[in-house]
Amino acid sequence: MPELPEVETTARGIAPFLLGQRFVSIRVNQPSLRWPIPPDFSQRLVNELCLSVTRRAKYLMIETQTTKILSHLGMSGSFRLVDANTPLKIHDHVQIQVGDLELRYHDPRRFGCLLWADSERARKLIDNLGPEPLSDEFCGEWLYKLAKRRTIGVKSFIMTNSVVVGVGNIYASESLFLAGIHPARPANRISHARYNDLAAQVKKVLTCAIEAGGTTLRDFVNGQGEPGYFQQALSVYGRVGDPCKRCRRAIGSRMIAGRNSFFCPRCQT
């Protein structure tokens, strides 16, 4: 599933080609995504001027003169810019023409969404979100205060959107490894100093992942159709049985809150 770095990479990749441009035409080839694309999607967007392309948590936001789109990439979604004459791929569900280019939403599994940001469903998705992990608000002090009465494992804790947004399975696993914290350790049994380090490692991992264009394990491509390369730098995620890059002990895995978690049994306590 595309996580924060992949969405940020997408936003940065398509923004230069959309900002200040009008949407010449819009075509919805398949409206049945996780939630149906609004029936007035094409009508409201055509001839609109693009004002901004931003990210909030794992949501991509495209703002025009009169409205704003909220999109989630789901399990396999991606936006890419192509020449308007480029043949469609099977799962290209939406086409938005901008000059001689088209922005196409591609989603084989159709778990993504395109909604009006002011709709009731969209508001439910973005209301009560926690701070951005790369903001000053997110820090060890913030985590330590919120964790005082939380007995859940720390990995589940930092993946909770009301605690901090956008820290998905891959990046939570990698951050905890760098901080030397076992993913199942109860959140309320971690010191202030260790939370300071964990917050710093989350920022470091996400920044490095964005610089690498995100992580491509299966479907993700950026706005130019290129894969991300952060998977080459993964220390624990998906490496069960491989030697730890620090101590050479085999990387382990276990299910935590329904998610497969990867860790070094020696380096993480």
List the catalytic residues: 2-3, 58, 259
Question: What is the Cα gyration radius of the chain?
Answer: 20
Structure tokens at 125: 């998705």
| CA–CA separation, 140 and 143 (whole Å) | 5
Alpha-helix runs per DSSP H in the chain: 4-18, 41-45, 120-126, 140-147, 154-158, 169-179, 192-211
DSSP character string of 51-111: EEEEEETTEEEEEESS-EEEEE-TTT-EEEEEETTSPPPTTEEEEEEETTEEEEEE-SS--
Long-range contacts (CB closer than 8 Å, 24 or more residues apart) made by 242-248:
none
